[in-house]
């Protein structure tokens, strides 16, 4: 049974959206990515940059929202596509995948059959282009993580492609635990503090404790179990 924390009416059962946040690491042709391969989390700026989606079914369709939100220049390659893809106004090439489709790509999403995904992965590897092969870790060099966005703060979660459902559950839990209004307040204070630190030359190693002190000063609920104070205090324990 899903329960909500006392300060929110949102349920852990609520569904959220996927993320374009990528935890990725390239591999050469002789050493495919495995479950033990260390990953490097990274946020990508894709605005105006070519991204190729191979496949035109529901899985490919589900990846468009995040790519469109990132203002990527999307091209879908598939003999047939869903009505949603057609309605999205992205460029569609109604044919099978060709190796040359990746010549100018910055990122590739392979959402076709395993055989097609393998061909896409090989072509992407030869061009040093990261490929997200949906639910197909052996042919992927990048994984799309679960994402939580709150007041200008973005948190991404990855299970290295091994358990995407778990990443989704963690994302939903964080959505409940991080209240939008409070995180927006934290972000506002953090921006103000950073500008002051830069102007006065505060060293990097002193900034986090100062920020924690400023955030703690926002609250005067008079209770040690005040939800947001508990979050701030938990952060303070690590310093």
- Answer yes or no: do 159 and 185 share one domain: no
Instruction: Confirm whether 1 is domain-assigned.
Output: no
Instruction: Confirm whether 82 is domain-assigned.
Output: yes
- Answer yes or no: do 140 and 96 share one domain: yes
* This prediction's pTM: 0.68
What pLDDT was estimated at residue 119? 96
What pLDDT was estimated at residue 231? 63
Domain that residue 74 falls in: 18-176
For 175-218, what is each residue's pLDDT tens digit? 888 888 888 888 898 999 999 999 999 999 998 888 888 887 77
Q: Using the structure block, give the residue that is written with the tokens 């047939």.
A: 80
Instruction: Confirm whether 49 is domain-assigned.
Output: yes
Instruction: Confirm whether 128 is domain-assigned.
Output: yes
What pLDDT was estimated at residue 238? 56
Over residues 8-25, mean pLDDT: 38
For 145-171, what is each residue's pLDDT tens digit? 777 888 888 888 878 777 878 888 888
Instruction: Confirm whether 202 is domain-assigned.
Output: yes
- Answer yes or no: do 109 and 223 share one domain: no
Share of the chain above pLDDT 70, in %: 76
Domain boundary among 125, 144, 176: 176
Euclidean distance between CA atoms 77 and 81, whole angstroms: 9
- Answer yes or no: do 126 and 60 share one domain: yes
- Answer yes or no: do 108 and 155 share one domain: yes
Residue 6 has pLDDT above 50, yes or no: no
What pLDDT was estimated at residue 22? 39
- Answer yes or no: do 29 and 100 share one domain: yes
Q: What is the mean pLDDT of the chain?
A: 80
- Answer yes or no: do 167 and 221 share one domain: no
What pLDDT was estimated at residue 144? 80
Residue in 4, 2, 13 with CA at minimum distance from that of residue 227: 4
Instruction: Confirm whether 164 is domain-assigned.
Output: yes
In 10 A of CB 185, how many CB atoms?
A: 16
Instruction: Confirm whether 213 is domain-assigned.
Output: yes
Domain boundary among 133, 151, 176: 176
CATH code, domain with 77: 3.40.50.720
What pLDDT was estimated at residue 4? 42
Annotate 132-192 with three-state secondary structure.
EECCCHHHCCEEEEEEEEECCEEEEECCCCCCHHHHHHHHHHHHHHCCHHHHHHHHHHHHH
For 84-103, what is each residue's pLDDT tens digit? 999 998 999 999 999 999 99
Euclidean distance between CA atoms 220 and 218, whole angstroms: 7
What pLDDT was estimated at residue 138? 86
């Amino acid at each position: 049974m899903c329960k909500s924390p006392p300060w929110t009416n949102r349920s852990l059962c609520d569904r959220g959206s996927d993320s374009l946040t990528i935890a990725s690491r390239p591999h050469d042709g002789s050493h495919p990515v495995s479950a033990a391969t260390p990953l490097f989390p990274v946020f990508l700026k894709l605005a105006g940059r070519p991204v190729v989606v191979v496949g035109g079914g529901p899985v490919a369709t589900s990846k468009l929202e995040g790519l469109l939100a990132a203002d990527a220049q999307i091209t879908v390659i598939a003999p047939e596509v869903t009505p949603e893809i057609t309605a999205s106004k992205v460029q569609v090439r109604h044919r099978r995948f060709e190796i040359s489709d990746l010549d100018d790509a910055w990122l590739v999403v392979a959402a076709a059959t395993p055989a097609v995904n393998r061909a896409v992965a090989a072509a992407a590897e030869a061009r040093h282009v990261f490929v997200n092969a949906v639910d197909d870790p052996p042919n992927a060099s990048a994984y799309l993580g679960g994402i939580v966005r709150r007041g200008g703060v973005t948190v991404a979660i990855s299970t290295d492609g091994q358990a995407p459902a778990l990443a989704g559950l963690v994302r939903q839990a964080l959505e409940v635990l991080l209240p939008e209004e409070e995180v927006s307040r934290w972000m506002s204070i953090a921006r103000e503090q950073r500008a002051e630190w830069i102007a006065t030359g505060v060293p990097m190693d002193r900034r986090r404790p100062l920020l924690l002190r400023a955030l703690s000063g926002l609250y005067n609920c008079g209770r040690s179990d005040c939800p947001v104070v508990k979050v701030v205090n938990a952060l303070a324990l690590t310093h």
